[in-house]
Amino acid sequence: MIQLELTQAVAGYVLLFIIPFLGVCIFTFLQKKEKSNIIQYTLWQCSICAFVYSTVFDNNITTCPRCGSYNKRGEEERAE
Ligand SMILES: [Zn+2]
């Protein structure tokens, strides 16, 4: 039988149980961090010049970067 000192037994216990637990904690933390970093872009097509552009903010009305006309959300849904 292998003889273990108390400190070795405690160290083995830490290695076997606490390190995998910490690994799971770090993994779930990184997953949550990834989700919070996702920026949702909204695609728009201009109803005047048909230029396709994207916006970061979820607005109901946007301005076309090419011709400067306003585009409403309802018009965008019909364009698709
Ligand atoms: Zn336009």
Whether residue 74 is found in the same domain as residue 48: yes
Residue 20 pLDDT > 60: yes
- Distinct helix (H) and strand (E) counts, the chain: 3, 4
Q: Do 46 and 23 lie in a common domain?
A: no
Q: Is residue 55 located within the same domain as residue 34?
A: no
Where do we find the tokens 């830490």?
14
Q: Same structural domain for residues 28 and 56?
A: no
18 and 49 inside one domain: no
pLDDT tens-digit readout, 36-66: 667 778 899 999 999 999 988 777 899 999 9
Q: Which domain holds residue 15?
A: 1-38
31/52 same-domain check: no
State the distance from the centre of ligand 1 to the C-alpha of 50, rounded, in angstroms: 6
Considering only the C-alpha atoms of the chain, give the largest distance between any 2 of them, rounded to a whole number of Å.
84
Instruction: Count how many domains the chain has.
Output: 2
| Ligand 1 centroid from CA 47, angstroms | 7
Q: Where are the alpha helices (DSSP H) in 1-80?
A: 6-13, 19-37, 73-79
- Reported pTM: 0.45
Answer yes or no: do 30 and 53 share one domain.
no
